[in-house]
Structure 1
Amino acid sequence: MIVRNEEAVLGRCLDSVADLVDEIILVDTGSTDNTKAVAAEYAAKIYDFPWCDDFSAARNYAVSQAVGDYWLWLDADDVIEGENHEKLRKILEAPEADMVFLPYWLSFDAAGTPQMISRRERIFRRSRGYRFTGAVHEAVVPSGSIRYGDAAVSHRKLHAGDPDRNLHIYQKLLLSGKRFSPREQYYYARELCDHGAYRAALPVLEQFLQEGRGWTPDNIGACLLAGRCYARLEQPDEAMQSLFRSFCYGIPQPEICCEIGGLFLERQQYPQAAFWYHLAIETGHQPHEGFWRQECCDYLPAIQLCVCYDRMGDISTAAAYNALAGSFRRGDAAVAYNRQYFAEKAARRK
């Protein structure tokens, strides 16, 4: 683990994993709180590493201290919850691969259902010499035998971090003359989008796609990001073209389908919008790579289909999709409002 000022969450993380591992290695990059004291309670091996605006450098230093046959990495605000604890125990007892990917639950709805989900490389055979690359959004390049496990890691952040840190690191690297890898290009563009710099993000995304060296899910994500940038810049035709471009890289993804449906909905082209929302639900059951938003597989297309069919005058179908949306998100205010709306509409027809 690499940490800095994580006393509020570190104990929670270590509680969830301490009985599953043989050693805990903690690399501190400059804490001024009681992070080290918390780590000491778990007999962690604590090392100092001066922060140098490079997450891979810090993580690789931590990896270099490991002595077991396998190593696992976590962030301080990660936690292994519920049945995933036992699932992880079984995987760690017999990894049976050089590298193990695990689900990563990044955000949750009010009911605690995971919403933003990805898979991350988590467990590694030490003898393979794996190392992280990338100063920001660091990752280990997949190689060797790979296993996909089912023990999810939950990201339970308590407080927002520095929203500008990653963008500043990327900008510093650019000023130093660094040539970005495809992954760095993609994540730099994401940071620009997150900061509302849509015009600046678009050429970065275009260069990323033109060079053709990106991972397929990142190519699809770049098309999605470009579509959103154009939509924010009130260029809906360009947004649509960018979203359709994603089909060059794979089958329609639920989030892409919902974005296209939204553009048609804005144009009041309800049959076309409904087509794409239906497709989002259909494709939502297929395996995904990269990041995906669970609500784009179920709740969002269902509630938008409710709107589409209502606008097309098919009240019974609209009400059915509202009920479907409610099955995905219990107690949802929009579903309750629509239910009342349909009841009042039915009463007026009597």
Structure 2
Amino acid sequence: FILAFTLNIYQTKIDRGDIFSARDYFYYGNELRENGHYEKAIESYNKNIALKSGWIEDKVYACINKADCYRFLGDLDNELKSLFQSFEYSKTPRPETCSRIGYNFQRKKEYIPAVFWYDIATKSEPDSNQWSFSYPAYYTWYPHLQMCVCYYNLGDFQKSYEHNEKAYDFRPKDERILHNKKLLEKKLGINQK
């Protein structure tokens, strides 16, 4: 209900002919995305990005959120382009972006580039001067869990196990990680406790 109400507020502003700021386009895009209006959200994010004004963090996340919209629409190529576009504003790779790039390749069964990007994510802790949100999962357990899956699919069970163990260090009660641990220990002949 609240999301639809917020969309109505933006629609009223549009109907009145209000001029949107870069921030308005960013938040309108977020509301559209949350309500499943992915094509319109992409348009709004592109308007945010096109304006010279606006907070740089909003532009980074406009690219990332736009990528999410493309993913929901099943357009993996434009998802990837949007993620790479975020580098124009962040200047250095962010864990959120690298993990998402890794997942894009992983879904296409391109495991070697997926591992490359997940590995970068594990080495890219957020900038302490970053004013926007930071999501520790993207540089801690998540890329290791995904590298476990990638290496498993590549047939390298030792590396798969090693990355699962790193994920386990962060989330020792995660059922997926515990399942992988048991499976890989059996496959590698490691004595289970």
- The structure 2 residue matched to 1:303, chosen from 135, 145, 162, is 145
Question: For residues 331-346 of structure 1, what are the structure 2 equivalents within 5 Å?
Answer: 331-346=173-188
Q: What is the one-letter code of the residue matched to 2:48?
A: F
Deviation string 1:246-277 (CA, Å, 9 cap, x unpaired) is 11112111111111101100111111000110
Aligned to 2:131: 289
- What is the CA distance between 1:285 and its match in structure 2? 5.0
- The structure 1 residue matched to 2:88, chosen from 248, 264, 281, is 248
Distance 1:191 1:237 in 2: 24
Aligned to 2:24: 184
Q: What is the one-letter code of the residue matched to 1:276?
A: W
1:283 counterpart SS class: coil
More strand by share: 1
Distance 1:223 1:286 in 2: 18
Aligned to 1:314: 156
Distance 1:327 1:162 in 2: 39
- The structure 2 residue matched to 1:202, chosen from 42, 46, 66, is 42
Contact 2:3–2:31 under 8 Å retained in 1? no
Distance 1:219 1:320 in 2: 36
- What is the CA distance between 1:347 and its match in structure 2? 4.1
Contact 2:157–2:188 under 8 Å retained in 1? no
- What is the CA distance between 1:322 and its match in structure 2? 0.7
More helix by share: 2
In the alignment, structure 1 segments of 5+ residues that lack a partner are: 1-160
- The structure 2 residue matched to 1:326, chosen from 162, 168, 179, is 168
Question: For residues 58-137 of structure 1, what are the structure 2 equivalents within 5 Å?
Answer: none
- Taking structure 1 as reference, are residues 167 and 266 closer, same or farther at Cα in structure 2, changes over 3 Å only? same
Report how many aligned residue pairs link the two structures.
188
Aligned to 2:100: 259
- Taking structure 1 as reference, are residues 290 and 177 closer, same or farther at Cα in structure 2, changes over 3 Å only? same
- Taking structure 1 as reference, are residues 166 and 239 closer, same or farther at Cα in structure 2, changes over 3 Å only? same
Compare CA radii of gyration and give the structure with the larger one. 1
Distance 1:214 1:270 in 2: 37
Question: For residues 265-280 of structure 1, what are the structure 2 equivalents within 5 Å?
Answer: 265-280=106-121
Distance 2:179 2:185 in 1: 10
1:295 counterpart SS class: helix
Aligned to 1:15: none
Aligned to 1:170: 10
- Larger mean CA deviation between 279-288 and 178-187 belongs to 279-288
Contact 2:111–2:150 under 8 Å retained in 1? yes
- What is the CA distance between 1:212 and its match in structure 2? 2.2
Question: For residues 147-166 of structure 1, what are the structure 2 equivalents within 5 Å?
Answer: 162-166=2-6
Contact 2:172–2:178 under 8 Å retained in 1? no
Q: What is the one-letter code of the residue matched to 2:111?
A: Y
In the alignment, structure 2 segments of 5+ residues that lack a partner are: none
Q: TM-score, normalised by structure 2?
A: 0.91
**Aligned-residue CA RMSD (Å):** 1.7
